Each structure stands twice: as C-alpha cells, then as structure tokens.
Amino acid sequence: MKMRILVAVAMVALVVAFAYTASAPAAPNAANTNAVPAAAPQPHAAATPAAAPAAEPHPEIHEAINSLRHAREHLDHAAHDFGGHKVEAIGAIDNAIHQLEICLKYDR
C-alpha cells in the first residue's frame, strides 16, 4: 500500500514538473537582449533618412578575444600548472587570439 502511494506521489510530481516546463515562457537569450530590432518601413518617411549609429562589426569575435585575454591572464597568475597543461593552454590561447585578430583585419 505504501509503495502505491509513493509511486502515485512521484507520478503526480513528474506530471506537475512537465506541465510547468511546457507552459513556462522561455527566457530571452542573453546574447540578444541588446539587439536592435529592424525598423519597419515608414510609408511617409522623409527623403533623407536619419543616420543611425554604426553597429560594432562582429561583436561576438571581439567578445571572444576579450574572454581569451581574460583566461590567459588567469592562467598566467595561477598558482599551479593544471597537470602540466598550463604552458600549452597559454600557447593555444595566444594562437586563437592571433587568428581572430587576423580575421578582423580581413573584414575591413
């Protein structure tokens, strides 16, 4: 009898959990919270459109470079050598930063 009650309670908990996750709205993507929506065409817009501020080209690449630099700084100041992988990891980070900077140069 106790086993049936325990199974019934577990089933109810699962049903409630799945019902909540299915009905809960999705959280907005943190990467897109600063995105500017595209402007709808204006039927009576002036002949000279207002100049919008230029968006930073490739913000994800710039963010990746900053994150890699932060990780490299962390590794440089770390007290241990991460099982002998610290030097190789720093070299890989330096190479990744170099490659991303080359990518940005070719975009201009």
Would you state the structure tokens that stand for residue 84, as one six-digit string?
């002998």
pTM (two decimals) = 0.49
Domain locations in the chain?
A: 58-108
Where are the alpha helices (H) located in the chain, listed in sequence order? 2-23, 59-76, 86-107
pLDDT tens digit string along 42-85? 555 555 555 666 667 889 999 999 999 999 999 999 998 899 99
Residue 96 in this model has a pLDDT that exceeds 80? yes
Residue type, 96: A
Which of 60, 54, 51 has its CA nearest to residue 103? 60
- The percent of residues above 90 in pLDDT, for the chain, comes to 39
